[in-house]
Structure 1
């Protein structure tokens, strides 16, 4: 049996029977990649068949030996140092390098190594090797092909552009015969800054036609350059998804040969002078730009010696001016890779690299671009750019997760919502759109005839599309008719704000509200100015409701994230506390046994040797023997306290009870109070807030437990804020800030309330009353207490959404009542009444 056969990851023991060595050997030998295992002396103790074939030696020759027995000393030393780093640090390692086998063939290999331990705690290094020679050759061929194509394109006399469908430059191969409006560097800029407006509209129209039909578009344009009309031929063809290739050829000389030849001399002289001045200005701007770039920028000569480095690069890596990679204290594999990349760049390649580095105790991700510096005499060095993309990578992951949640919300929001791609195809059609029109998402999404389906009247459709193009992607409250599946025509109020809030993958998106009923009322009461104002108010109210819904969705997402965070923290605390608490009994037993044994020694050997007596007095043995059990008791009390706090956190977050279920309301209130203990305790500026609970005999209540906990939290926090404010302003002698919580079972016929929505069910209800003895709430404030964004707290302390969301949770989600009863100077009481079952409410 191999010494590592019983090794496994550091995880709880499994009840499954261990796999046999023969079975494990068959599995490892069945792998196509070479696999090896080394002991702490770097000797091979296990190899698969693929490794033996890769090395060109038999398993018998290799087992128990090291690289030094088969490889050149320098190469063996490199392998040994890398593996030793894994043994020392325990971290996984991965690198690429060239390797020459026994047949003299050089391979590019990728090696991964990591550390494992067997049941005896012995460390072993496990490694896998993958031959990536073919992949590297393919990448090199692709890079060379791209470089060759760019050289060919740069030799053409035509202006070659690559743009997105909305007119953004992706690539630009200039020629001296064309004038560029605006900046000379067009990549990343819009077509609107490089052409006159009339030519921009013409260019965009032909680009859209090319993208729609997939066919080559050819047209001629006259453009005024330096007071002269130039005739150009423009060819547009589709080169990718929402991307076109544009070739512009100057046709002026062919059509006006005699006049063009006469003017050419003066024009060229003017252009030379203009270009000379522009180059001088560009050089000055470039110097200032490099010095102020927000990313690292540096340059090396052909010996890889740094000859330029901006401030950001010096901050990232230190001052490297005058230094070569060989002058730095680098691991051999890093130095080898660095020099190899420099060699490839000096050979003419442009490299795009992405690497992770440890800086100041954290992992940072950098995107590095290496490009050769070309002169008339050839390549004289290389230019490097280091861009810190750590936050970008983290944000990309978070955005992908949030995007999925947002799509779910948008799909089920109570307003119509649709989105289109760059080709004009509808790619989002939510449930409200299905309800209003009768057309399912399957009938609408990616349907090329969708416009004919929703707008069958050709004349109306053409006018509507023209108006839509005119409005673009930034408008609100556009009324438009739409034909439904049942033949009816409805009026929709559309708003499109995709220009202000673009969504990746969507060319545009809009929301709509069905206002057919309101429009019908307008037609019937057109002569009534009062009715028109009322309906305008209704429309404004609908927009406010939409904004309120959006804000509440954002708040709900925040609370969901907070719940996940609280549940995660509780889980992470619970595990180590469980380990401590579970071992306290054993520690108590072991210590009692040791103390008993020590007492027996004292009984039977009352006169120990002098050294033991001196050490006993120095230790104060009698005190330690009496204090150690007390110490363990204190640790047990502390662990139990932490366990109670963890239970309260998990109860409050209710991450395992996202759906409606029957729960104990008192447990939710107690967990909320536990979380607020730090605010209830005495503070430097106020006394302790007393909490009095008077719980009635309540049955289990069917509800959304996490949402009700949020209601309790909002009301209790407001009560604490009110008590703190009252004590800071005017504290009467002997006044004790107090919060009283009462619960009781209430039959249906005894329910009271004016603020909530009463259910028609005869099911019994419960009532929860949370009262404080603070300053009370004025009647004028009570009228707006549950309005969104209404708050009496200072700026930065309250958002005005807590009680509004609480009101919705109680009334809409649970069919209950939330009301406030208060008189100035008499404190405030919030009453919550909800049915014990939601099955028919």
Structure 2
């Protein structure tokens, strides 16, 4: 009896071991299947980009991959040769450095270390890293290198943490939920059970299910399963009780080829079933992420370089269907625009283990060329090396960037080449940008110089800072302003006038004007031209008045001259009519003639006739000078023009009365043989009179004992005629000589000159006659003005 009990107990133990082994094998197979499915997903989403390095056993960093260097924003030369824990990846945490030293020592002793750490990236952000230290041994088993690896898991931490909490809860539930074990004899009596089974079903050793009052449905199921087991079958059943799912395994226990008992295993698989459902759901989600990812993803077996899988974006981008891609190489598909890239990229991948952001040109199924950025990493799937490639197409982006660059270049060209000055500034008083014309207007050599030097626009650019305040104040009332006659300051401090067009740019948050944009038109030349035009109009008005006066004076002057002639004729004794009238009146004409001669009356009459003739010539000259001859040039005798100009100058009131022109020795250095010259006579006379007048004024103000002289010379030279007007007066300093032809420049006292005479003369010679007007002078040695105009 005792031996029988021992035998039964031994059989029970043997059966329990067999069943336990079956369960282990079942779980291993299930786990292996799940691991295989998740490996690909983990490789794609978690293992694509790794930080890797190589250490000596003492912790010295020998090498680091580009991913690790770019992660921290450092150069390899800055870290190689240093202790790994003293590199920038670890310097932010001393405790972590000490921990790393311990890990390195353990790894150098041959231990594989995995731990979680933190690194700061190049931007200073703290990132979470899944780190490992792997020992690398030689043939003798001695550790010769340490391989540190790290994956940035920061972005996955939050989602993983939530998932991990659920997994921990599921694992806790899975580990804590009991499964029941029992053994019954061939009659259905309970021989053996664990405490969990007893608590679950409240059954007792030696009783049948009916005796323990188990539910009729469960009793019926147990009875059927026991009958099958007694026939030699092993049953694997799934039972549902309410919302619970159980797995029941019923198997016969044999002894000497005889079934002596029945073994039962009752497992609550509710959580496992739910986990499987969640896994299937997770697989669907990951598959959706893989398939619907906008980045083209492909997985290639590294040994034969054939595609294992591609996502939908890859198919759309390449123009091929998935079944036309899987099983083929990129070279066979002709996806690389440059065929040499295939071997080059493969070599780079095998040499460095990574391709990180390389621009590649690809070809679609239709032959279209596309551009993109390629990222490749080597991963392990089912213990085989694969390459996972991410290709981000940048064709459209590059096209947009090129359009933006073209637009920006066009804007810059317009901005920099605009004929007006354009600026952008902030209200605080600094320039954002100015174009070349704007800088030139203000006397700066370049926009960069102006932006750097001008730090306070109100005081450095505006002649009046208050005017700028007023303009900005007016901008609050009007969106844009056009302000005329704004007075500005050049770099050298000189002032000038300009018209300014300005627009205020408002800050969206404060509602205040934060930026001022506009352009400036220098109106200095316009103002000068306007002044010249006004002076010209004034001269025209004076010419009109002179012509009117000449006409009015010529009438009485003609009567006076005619009456003087008649008076001489009526007093003459030679005319018969005079003698006849004198005899009739008893007048002795001979005595009258003697009286007139003794009283010098004939001399007075001749003097009056000379004065009338001289006045008539003056009126004729005024009429000729005041007549508009237009801008046409016609051949004219230069000798007569010179003489007429001198005669006009001699009759000028200011020259005669103020500057004593008659007292100046006028030297003529020309002859009547001068050629006909194509000219506008009135304009040339105007220039000559102005030069003579300036020379007389200079001599008047010159205190010198030497006789005052003005020399006028004229002679042909090649195809030109050269006229000089030279005086022996005070001359001019060099700074004055350089500016004598500038409008409004004058050295005379206020009210004595406009500064336009030489400017107008210069314009007449250079613009109207295609000639030259130059000045040469030395202080104390006189001045010389030279006119050179084409003869024809």
- TM-score, with length taken from structure 1: 0.31
| Higher gyration radius (CA) | 2
